[in-house]
Structure 1
Amino acid sequence: MASNGNNVAKAKYESKMPPFYYKPTFLDCQLLREQWIRAKYERKEFIHSEKQEPYSAGYREGFLWKRGRDNGQFLSRKFVLSEREGALKYFNKNDAKEPKAIMKIEHLNATFQPAKIGNPHGLQITYLKDNSTRNIFVYHEDGKEIVDWFNAIRAARFHYLQVAFPGASDVDLVPKLSRNYLKEGYMEKTGPKQTEGFKKRWFTMDDRRLMYFKDPLVR
């Protein structure tokens, strides 16, 4: 950088960066910023395309720690992301033939939530089921692994949107791959009759949707 300048270095180390790969800002969590630096300079993933296979192949299978719905414990679960099937699935047992949940790539969103989940590698995955928003909370001990999962989801959505909107440019599609919530936090609310007492609820502003949950980690 001292001899050639920042623009020359950027042109080299980002020469083959795929459009779907998330480029963090100073507002993002430490994990995303660290893995971006390691991917760019240490592993040189955006110089050598073959090093992008873990998140660009269109298929990914592995184990993530998933938070249970009832007891809140994190248990190891098998996850499979398939562009061909258009879905992310997870299985409660390693040898299970049927998945516990099928999350369509069309409606999938992933956002890092380390503070909410209580883990520096915590990832929240949101999807639609029966026209209702559902959440699952996962992490992986290895920071690279969970960031690879995050970018694999973005890659799958990018390729889905390319087919759904063939005339759209990469610049148009990239903002639709994943999104952070505009605002989250507790507010007090009454029931629909406005005669009940106020109760503390977790509110989320997601794009144009305002939703509330009993607590931040409700599915």
Structure 2
Amino acid sequence: MASDQERIRERIKALLKKPGNGNCADCGVPEPEWASYTLGVFVCHSCSGLHRNIAQISKVKSLLLDPWSSSELEFLDSVGNIAAKAKYEQIVPAFYYRPTSKDYVLLLDQWIRAKYERKEFMSVERQEPYSAGYREGCLWKRGRDNGQYMSRKFILTEREGVLKYFNKHDAREPKAIMKINTVNATFQAAKIGVPNGLQITYLKDNSTRNIFVYHEDGKEMVDWFNAIRAARYHYLQVAFPGATNSELLPKLTRNYIKEGYMEKTGPKWRPILNANRD
């Protein structure tokens, strides 16, 4: 006769085979080995660590190593990943970046907090920081010459179609104006050397320019990132009427597959032949 633990293990296996439970509820990787017994979702090992950051909301245990009670399994069975997504991801804006396991951990952490802690996708009003079409605040910007970070005021205005920053908080004229149609933002903390580091690329006089910014508050940086995506999304909707989301979303922000330096040869030297005429 099977022991209680064996029956529990079989029950867990059956739960994982239910539609939606075979992938992490947050990043989508297959075969999750952890679960939140307060939220009723199955998650991967990496996301389970991020759930511990909101322990007042989500309490996780290993499906393989920790003991489970019948009541906990009943709750998991009554919720599951599909029902949880229907509840916590009711109205995720199309432009909002949905991170995967390969993304910078800050994006995953804030995605999890936005869903379960702040419940941003259950109420449109809670999405104002990145969906209002206008955002103003201070970010730490790296100086071009000395590499030091200084606080600079940034303004993103969808109506004007620009992102601009000011060298002084009370300055009337911006130091730089970046048109939304050329702006790209990507998290590059390792490259920049600071937590939450964001690389913003844009075109000026047909040349590519970069600025590097960060903020101590991870939510602040992710809100800026999604605000840029929102502005680009609405610009592209106007520029390409009739285009589908599947066509527009890959154009909002792009990560660099590979970045670095390569040696390039100069133009080949060719002798000039002079022909003498008689």
**For the superposition of Structure 1 and Structure 2, which TM-score range results when normalised by the shorter chain?**
0.7 to 0.9
Gaps of 5+ in 2: 1-39, 41-75, 270-278
Q: CA deviation at 1:12?
A: 1.1
Q: Are residues 1:90 and 2:168 paired?
A: no
Distance in 2 of aligned mates of 1:175 and 1:24: 13
SS of the counterpart of 1:184? coil
Question: Which whole-Å deviations, capped at 9, do the CAs of 1:14-40 have from their partners, x for residues lacking one?
Answer: 111000000001111111110110001
Distance in 2 of aligned mates of 1:84 and 1:28: 30
**Residues 96, 13 of structure 1: CA spacing in aligned structure 2 closer, same or farther, 3 A cutoff?**
same
2:94 corresponds to which of 12, 19, 23 = 19
Question: Which whole-Å deviations, capped at 9, do the CAs of 1:136-159 have from their partners, x for residues lacking one?
Answer: 000001000000000000000000
2:93 is aligned with what amino acid?
P
Aligned to 2:247: 172
Q: Are residues 1:141 and 2:216 paired?
A: yes
Distance in 1 of aligned mates of 2:196 and 2:228: 16
**How many equivalent pairs are there?**
194
For the Cα contact (< 8 Å) 1:15–1:47, is it kept in 2?
yes
Say what the alpha-carbon RMSD is for the aligned residues: 1.2
For the Cα contact (< 8 Å) 2:133–2:230, is it kept in 1?
yes
1:68 corresponds to which of 114, 118, 143 = 143
Q: Which has the higher contact order (CA 8 A, sep 6+)?
A: 1
Q: Are residues 1:160 and 2:235 paired?
A: yes
Aligned to 2:198: 123
2:83 corresponds to which of 8, 15, 32 = 8
> Percent identity, aligned pairs only?
76
SS of the counterpart of 2:165? strand
1:59 corresponds to which of 134, 137, 154 = 134
2:155 is aligned with what amino acid?
V
Structure in which a larger fraction of residues adopt helix: 2
SS of the counterpart of 2:103? coil
Q: CA deviation at 1:189?
A: 3.7
**Residues 194, 63 of structure 1: CA spacing in aligned structure 2 closer, same or farther, 3 A cutoff?**
farther
Q: CA deviation at 1:119?
A: 1.2
Structure in which a larger fraction of residues adopt strand: 1
Aligned to 1:45: 120
For the Cα contact (< 8 Å) 2:195–2:216, is it kept in 1?
no
Q: CA deviation at 1:194?
A: 6.5
Distance in 2 of aligned mates of 1:102 and 1:80: 10
TM-score by length of 1: 0.86
Q: CA deviation at 1:185?
A: 2.7
Aligned to 2:226: 151
For the Cα contact (< 8 Å) 1:114–1:120, is it kept in 2?
yes
For the Cα contact (< 8 Å) 1:35–1:143, is it kept in 2?
yes
